[in-house]
């Protein structure tokens, strides 16, 4: 396993965004947990929401006095192929779990567990299916740690074979975290089941306020013209994110708004081997329409460019078919950009249909809602104001800090 370097952050910088009760509770809990050693383990330090969430959360826990290390699993191409299949099938895709795939998964788990020999932590927090079976090796640690498993995906309707397999491991953790209660299938036997909604870092380069002129200048490099309407979806190239549906919706809008542009902004996560295939599907569907910009971290997209796209967009889409949370929704709402999301998973926590955005079930609905927003700047503005406040109250990182501290505090004092 590899240790990830973390940037420094100061908790005090976030105080103006928080209510007094939140600040007081965080201060009490972090005093109680000062010096506790925490290992966070996930599958990638780059690309996708989990890396983003850890990057936001961990420096603040450290600044509050905990000793936190972020470990990333080692994995072969085969391991990540199998774990992406876990991801897809836990989100409901059909298919059978084969003996050889189980062997690939358990073999890599064994190799990763070797790195835990003599670890000395009070808490070990494992993220997503890639890490689940590490619990079998808990006795490698020098002292007795509390183990937590955090699920970031939409398991509301999982493939039962895969759920049964993962469930065999997760029930041995001391606590299990999901984002929504309906993601937990028959969770009666899961210990200390906890619901935590993810959050964004409002002060990071991705989310800090960006001057519209600066955003427009950054986007010019990608061929985006400031004067023309812009639809944006920021996400990995993944069937669950439905980039092909986004292109279809854009084509419908284009008939009425010929000047409209579409940007599909996607990062290629190191634990997502399907990403390249799906990027090629997307490029083929975009064809020779040069008003569709398909851009990735390989042609210059960093956090600041993501910020620029989300800031400059007239409408941001997250037309997912399944979604654990969808950080991109909160990111866009925080910038005061109206969002249309698929009526699935964690997107439903963030968008109240018709109040701070729209929820859609089909490509046609999506196109219709885009047209409504493009034609009604005043409505788009109202959504933007309500959306930003919703994020401030519910989805900013200090609230995530509080949720984790509460859970660790509870586990720390369990007999």
CA distance 175 to 138: 14
Q: Is 41 in the site for ligand UDP (CB under 6 A)?
A: no
CB of 26 or CB of 308, closer to ligand UDP: 308
CB of 306 or CB of 380, closer to ligand UDP: 306
Backbone angles phi, psi at 88, to 5 degrees: -60, -40
Q: Is 135 in the site for ligand UDP (CB under 6 A)?
A: no
The residue at minimum Cβ distance from ligand UDP is: 49
CB of 267 or CB of 356, closer to ligand UDP: 267
CA distance 110 to 44: 18
CB 68 within 8 A of CB 95: no
Environment class of 85 (CB within 10 Å of its CB; exposed 0-12, middle 13-18, buried 19+): buried
CB 194 within 8 A of CB 177: yes
- Binding residue for ligand UDP, selected from 129, 243, 245, 266, defined by CB under 6 A: 266
CB of 62 or CB of 332, closer to ligand UDP: 332
The contact mask relative to ligand UDP for 278-297 (x = CB under 6 A, - = no) is ------------------xx
CB of 131 or CB of 328, closer to ligand UDP: 328
Q: Is 57 in the site for ligand UDP (CB under 6 A)?
A: no
| Secondary-structure percent of the chain, ordered helix, strand, coil, rounded to 5 | 50, 15, 35
Q: Shortest Cβ distance from residue 33 to ligand UDP (Å)?
A: 27
CA distance 370 to 257: 10
CB of 30 or CB of 85, closer to ligand UDP: 85
Environment class of 188 (CB within 10 Å of its CB; exposed 0-12, middle 13-18, buried 19+): exposed
Number of residues that bind ligand UDP (CB under 6 A): 21
Q: Shortest Cβ distance from residue 76 to ligand UDP (Å)?
A: 21
Residue 198: partners with Cβ closer than 8 Å, 6 or more residues away: 49, 53, 152, 179, 324, 325, 327, 346, 395, 400
CB 89 within 8 A of CB 159: yes
> According to CB under 6 A, which residues from 203 to 242 bind ligand UDP?
206, 234-236
- Binding residue for ligand UDP, selected from 52, 128, 201, 242, defined by CB under 6 A: 52
Q: Shortest Cβ distance from residue 371 to ligand UDP (Å)?
A: 24
- The residues facing 230 across adjacent strands are 261
- Binding residue for ligand UDP, selected from 265, 340, 384, 397, defined by CB under 6 A: 265
Both tokens assigned to 202: 């409002």
Q: Shortest Cβ distance from residue 10 to ligand UDP (Å)?
A: 21
The contact mask relative to ligand UDP for 296-335 (x = CB under 6 A, - = no) is xx---x-x--x------------------xxxx--x----
CA distance 327 to 347: 9
Q: In what order do the strands lie in the sheet with 146-150?
A: 2-3, 67-72, 37-42, 123-127, 146-150, 175-178, 193-195
CB of 266 or CB of 338, closer to ligand UDP: 266
CB of 50 or CB of 132, closer to ligand UDP: 50
CB 96 within 8 A of CB 161: yes
Given the rule CB under 6 A, which residues bind ligand UDP?
48-50, 52, 206, 234-236, 265-267, 296-297, 301, 303, 306, 325-328, 331
């Amino acid at each position: 396993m590899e240790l990830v370097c973390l940037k420094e952050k100061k908790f005090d910088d976030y105080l103006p965004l928080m209510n007094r009760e939140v600040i007081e509770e965080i201060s009490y809990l972090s005093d109680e947990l000062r010096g506790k050693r925490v290992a966070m383990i996930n599958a990638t330090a780059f690309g996708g929401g989990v890396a983003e969430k850890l990057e936001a959360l961990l420096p603040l826990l450290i600044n509050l006095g905990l000793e936190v290390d972020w470990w990333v699993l080692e994995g072969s191409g085969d391991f990540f192929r199998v774990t992406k299949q876990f991801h897809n099938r836990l989100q409901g895709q059909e298919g059978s779990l084969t003996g050889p795939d189980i062997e690939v998964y358990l073999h890599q788990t064994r190799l990763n567990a070797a790195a835990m020999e003599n670890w000395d932590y009070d808490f070990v927090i494992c993220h997503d299916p890639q890490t689940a079976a590490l619990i079998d090796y808990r006795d490698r640690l020098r002292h007795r740690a509390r183990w937590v498993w955090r699920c970031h995906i939409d398991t509301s309707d999982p493939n039962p074979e895969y759920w049964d397999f993962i469930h065999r491991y997760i029930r041995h953790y001391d606590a299990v975290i999901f984002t929504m209660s309906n993601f937990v299938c028959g969770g009666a036997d899961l210990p200390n089941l906890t619901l935590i909604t993810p959050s964004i870092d409002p002060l990071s380069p991705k989310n800090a306020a960006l001057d519209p002129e600066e955003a427009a200048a950054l986007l010019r490099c990608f061929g985006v013209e400031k004067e023309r309407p812009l639809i944006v979806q920021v996400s990995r190239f993944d069937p669950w994110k439905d980039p092909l549906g986004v292109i279809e919706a854009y084509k419908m809008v284009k008939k009425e708004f010929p000047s409209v542009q579409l940007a599909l902004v996607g990062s290629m996560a190191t634990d997502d081997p399907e990403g390249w295939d799906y990027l090629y599907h997307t490029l083929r569907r975009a064809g020779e329409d040069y008003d569709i910009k398909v851009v990735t971290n390989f042609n210059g997209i960093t956090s600041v460019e993501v910020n620029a796209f989300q800031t400059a967009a007239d409408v941001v889409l997250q037309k997912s078919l399944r979604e654990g949370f969808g950080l991109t929704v909160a990111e866009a709402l925080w910038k005061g950009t109206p969002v249309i999301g698929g009526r699935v998973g964690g997107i439903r926590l963030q968008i109240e249909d018709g109040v701070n955005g729209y929820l859609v079930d089909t490509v046609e609905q999506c196109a219709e809602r885009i047209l409504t927003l493009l034609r009604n700047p005043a409505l788009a503005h109202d959504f933007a104001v309500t959306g930003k406040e919703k994020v401030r109250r519910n989805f900013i990182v200090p609230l995530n800090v509080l949720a984790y501290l509460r859970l660790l505090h509870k586990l720390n004092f369990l007999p």
